[in-house]
C-alpha cells in the first residue's frame, strides 16, 4: 500500500471510528431514556425511545456497509484488519442494546396502564450499571485499553446478582397475591433485558481485548488460556 493510499485508508478508519462512537452515544442515550421512561412512568418518552431505535439501526447498516467496502478495497492486514472486523461486531452489539432499550419501553408502556407494583430501586441500579459498562467498553475501544475492557467483564457479575435478587422478590409478590402476576412478569422481563444489555457490553469488552492484544477470550474463564493469540501488529 503506497503512502498516499495508507493515509487515505487511515482517514477512512478514523471516520469509521467516529460513526461507531456516535452510534455508541445513541445506544447509551437509549438506555438512559428508557430507564427514565420506566421510573417516571412516562409513556410518551417511552414511545420516543421506540421511534429513535430506527436511527441506531440506520447507523448499524451504514457501519456494516462501510466496513465491507474497506475490506474489499484495501484488503487490510494485522491490526487494521482486526479494527475493521471489530468495528462491525461492536456495531451489531450496540444495535442489540438499543433493541433491548426499545423492549424495556414496550413493557414500561404496559406497566403504566396499572398501578405501580413496587418502588423501582434494583431495576434502575441494573440499568445504570449496564449503561456504565457500555460506556466503559467503548472508552476502552477508543483508548486501546484492554485493562479497562477486562474490568467490564468482572462488572457483569454485579448485574447478574441484582437480577437474581429481583427475581426472588418478584416471585414472592406473585406467590402472595396472584393479582400482581402480570406486573411482576413484565418487571422480570425488564430485568432480563437489562442483564442482556450488560452481556452485550461484555461482548464489546472482549472484542476490545481481541483488538488490542490479538487474543480471543470469549467462551473462556479467567483461569483458562485464550483460544488464540495473534501477534501484535
Q: Which domain holds residue 198?
A: 3-229
Phi–psi pair at 176, nearest 5 degrees: -80, -30
Q: How do beta strands 228-229 and 215-216 pair?
A: antiparallel
Name 12's Cβ contacts closer than 8 Å, sequence gap at least 6. 66, 70, 74
Cα distance between residue 17 and residue 23, in whole Å = 10
Name 130's Cβ contacts closer than 8 Å, sequence gap at least 6. 31, 159, 194, 195, 197, 198, 201
Contacts 24+ apart (CB under 8 A), 182-187: 182/114, 183/111, 183/114, 183/117, 184/117, 186/107, 186/110, 186/111, 187/107, 187/111, 187/117, 187/118, 187/123
pLDDT for 109 equals 98
What would the pLDDT profile of 127-171 be if each residue is shown by its tens digit?
999 999 999 999 999 999 999 999 999 999 999 999 999 999 999
- 109 neighbors 46 (Cβ within 8 angstroms): yes
Domain harbouring 109, CATH code:
1.20.58.220
Q: Name the CA radius of gyration of the chain, rounded.
A: 20
Q: Confidence class of residue 231 from pLDDT cuts 50, 70 and 90?
A: very low
pLDDT for 225 equals 52
Cα distance between residue 46 and residue 119, in whole Å = 19
Closest CA to 70 of 154, 119, 11: 11
Q: Which residues pair with 228 in a beta bridge?
A: 216
What would the pLDDT profile of 109-122 be if each residue is shown by its tens digit?
999 999 999 999 99
pTM above 0.85, yes or no: yes
Q: How far apart are the first and last CA of the chain?
A: 16
pLDDT at position 213 over 90: yes
pLDDT at position 229 over 60: no
Most confident among 1-5, 9-13, 90-94 (mean pLDDT):
90-94
What would the pLDDT profile of 6-54 be if each residue is shown by its tens digit?
888 889 999 999 999 999 999 999 999 999 999 999 999 999 999 999 9
What sections of the chain are H helices per DSSP?
Answer: 3-39, 43-74, 78-111, 122-143, 146-176, 181-213
The domain total for the chain is 1
- 72 neighbors 84 (Cβ within 8 angstroms): no
Amino acid at each position: 500500500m503506497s503512502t498516499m493510499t495508507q493515509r487515505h485508508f487511515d482517514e477512512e478508519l478514523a471516520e469509521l471510528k467516529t460513526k461507531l462512537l456516535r452510534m455508541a452515544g445513541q445506544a447509551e442515550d437509549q438506555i438512559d431514556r428508557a430507564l427514565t421512561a420506566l421510573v417516571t412512568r412516562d409513556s410518551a418518552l417511552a414511545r420516543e425511545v421506540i421511534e429513535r431505535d430506527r436511527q441506531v439501526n440506520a447507523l448499524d447498516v451504514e457501519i456494516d456497509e462501510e466496513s465491507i467496502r474497506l475490506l474489499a478495497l484495501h484488503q487490510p492486514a494485522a491490526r487494521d484488519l482486526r479494527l475493521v472486523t471489530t468495528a462491525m461486531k461492536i456495531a451489531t452489539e450496540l444495535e442489540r442494546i438499543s433493541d433491548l432499550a426499545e423492549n424495556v419501553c414496550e413493557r414500561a408502556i404496559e406497566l403504566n396502564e396499572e398501578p405501580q407494583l413496587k418502588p423501582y430501586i434494583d431495576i434502575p441500579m441494573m440499568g445504570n450499571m449496564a449503561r456504565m459498562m457500555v460506556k466503559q467498553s467503548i472508552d476502552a475501544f477508543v483508548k486501546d485499553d484492554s485493562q479497562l475492557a477486562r474490568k467490564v467483564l468482572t462488572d457483569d457479575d454485579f448485574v447478574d446478582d441484582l437480577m437474581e435478587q429481583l427475581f426472588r422478590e418478584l416471585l414472592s409478590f406473585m406467590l402472595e397475591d396472584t393479582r400482581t402476576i402480570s406486573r411482576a412478569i413484565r418487571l422480570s422481563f425488564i430485568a432480563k433485558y437489562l442483564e442482556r444489555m450488560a452481556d452485550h457490553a461484555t461482548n464489546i469488552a472482549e472484542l476490545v481485548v481481541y483488538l488490542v492484544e490479538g487474543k480471543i477470550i470469549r467462551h473462556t474463564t479467567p483461569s483458562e488460556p485464550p483460544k488464540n493469540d495473534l501477534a501484535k501488529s
